[in-house]
Amino acid sequence: MIMNDVPISEFKAKCLGLIEQVHKTRQPLRITRHGRPLAEVIPAGPDRKRKFLGDMVGTVEILGDIVSPVIDLGEIEAYRD
């Protein structure tokens, strides 16, 4: 993938046009100061539709019993006194 270098002064002057160019050509842009890289502008990835509920499905693993009390019921009664 070819990356074009642009001096920071030029990027400042033509920022919106350069960002639009990256979007249209899908080619990244490297911003430099005195010939040294400062930052890279890369095209955004595809817009992923996210569901509000259920977006994390399949990312959690339940290990063990999550319903039963952690300690014995007798111990709970002992702490009440």
Check residue 70 and give its pLDDT. Answer: 80
Check residue 81 and give its pLDDT. Answer: 62
Model confidence at 1: pLDDT above 80? no
pTM: 0.56
Cβ-based burial of 32 (10 A; exposed 0-12, middle 13-18, buried ≥19) = middle
Q: How does pLDDT run across 6-63, given as a tens digit for each residue?
A: 999 999 999 999 999 999 999 999 999 999 999 999 999 887 776 777 777 888 888 8
Q: Could you tell me which residue, 32 or 78, shows the higher pLDDT? A: 32
**Fold adopted by 1-45:** YefM-like fold (3.40.1620)
Check residue 25 and give its pLDDT. Answer: 94
